[in-house]
Amino acid sequence: MVNYVEASYNVGDVLGEGIFGSVCEATRISDGQKVAIKFIHKRGEYRTLAIPGYSEPLIKEVALMVKMSEPPLSPNVIQMIESFEDDEKIAIVMEYPQPCKTLEHYITENEMLCEEMVRILMRQAVQAVIDCIDHGVVHTDIHPGNILINTSTLDLKLIDFGCGLLFTSDAYDGSQYEGNIEYCPPEVTEMNRFHAISANVWSLGLLLLEMVNECLPYPESEEVLFVNPDLSGGLDLKVPDTTQD
């Protein structure tokens, strides 16, 4: 695999590292296209998924990205270009929008985002989740570090399907949740189970809170504390009285 990478790509700086591997920026030699390559170490057992059209199960993250590559393509989900593996590593070559930053870095650099910008980003984040479910995939690790923002256009892309699952309307066992603990829905710890759509709604709600408020209330407080002085109060809606005819 190393020879293939070196023959096809000029691998550059490391964009991020984790316990399972690293992501590097790279340039495809044949046409100069910028890409990101995720290298995953094979350590012990690793999960695979069987999906239609493939005689053998695929590495889970590869399988989920293959499903996301089925038409219609989502403009708000990162696309896999190719993947390959050897006895030690798996490599996933993905598109790499330019110029871009993670939403996590974007929030940090811009402090509190204005409401109009948040609306633009949030609409795309919700659409990304809908597109995943429409493709039979549930992304269980939605947080600012797993979202890329094109800083010129504000186009958003959801990345990193390493914790993802095949979609089902049935409940998942709590042990199947492998996403960021700060974005973990409460039913995972309280009832040891979760449903795909409600878990995604929880994560999206926290994502919205972090964009407009720069931080989450946890773990310092169980209350939602708003520190953004420019946040509007919204509409003063009154709940209709339905107790009378």
Which residue of the set 13, 86, 87, 141 is catalytic? 141
Residue where the block lists tokens 């892309």 = 157
8 Å CB contact between 84 and 4? yes
Residues whose CB is less than 8 angstroms from the CB of residue 133 and which lie 6 or more positions away in sequence, other chains included? 167, 196, 197, 200
Active site residue 141: yes
Burial 10-47 (b: 16+ CB within 10 A, else e): ebeeeeeeeeebebbbbeeeeeeeebbbbbbeeeeeee
Whose CA is closest to 64, among 180, 163, 142, 173? 163
- The phi and psi torsions of 62 (rounded to 5 degrees) equal -65, -45
The CA distance from 93 to 186, in Å, is 34
Whose CA is closest to 188, among 177, 197, 201? 177
Query: What are the catalytic residues?
Result: 141
